[in-house]
Structure 1
Amino acid sequence: MDEPFRWHGGLEIYCKEDCLPENVLDEPYALTYTSLLASYKDFVEELSDIETWYRRDELLSGIELCEKQCAEYVFGDLEGLFYKERLSELHQWFTELYDKSAIYLLNWDHYRFETGLVIYWEGIVQYDSKESAVALQAILEKYMNENKLNPMHLKEARFDALTEMESILVFPQKEYYKNGFGQNALQDLYTICVDFFEERSVKKGFDYENCIQFTKLFTCPICNCPEPIEDADVSEEYQVIACNYCYNK
Structure 2
Amino acid sequence: MNAVKRIMIVAVAAGALITVGAVSPAGAADGAGQGLKVGDSVCTDWVQSDNGVRLTGALDDSTGEWTVRKADSPSGAETVVLRASAGSRTAGEVPIDRTVTAAGTEDFVYRACLSLDWVVKPIPLSLVANYRMALTSSSPRAVNDIGPHTAKLSAAQACGDRTAVQPGATVRLTGTSTGRTSWSINVTGNTNNYEGPWYALFETVEDIDATVTLDPEITEVTVCVGAGDADHRVPVAFELSVV
What's the TM-score once normalised by structure 1's chain length? 0.24
Greater per-residue helix proportion? 1
Pick the structure with greater CA Rg. 1
| Higher-strand-fraction structure | 2
Which one has more relative contact order, counting CA pairs under 8 Å at least 6 apart? Answer: 2
TM-score by length of 2: 0.24
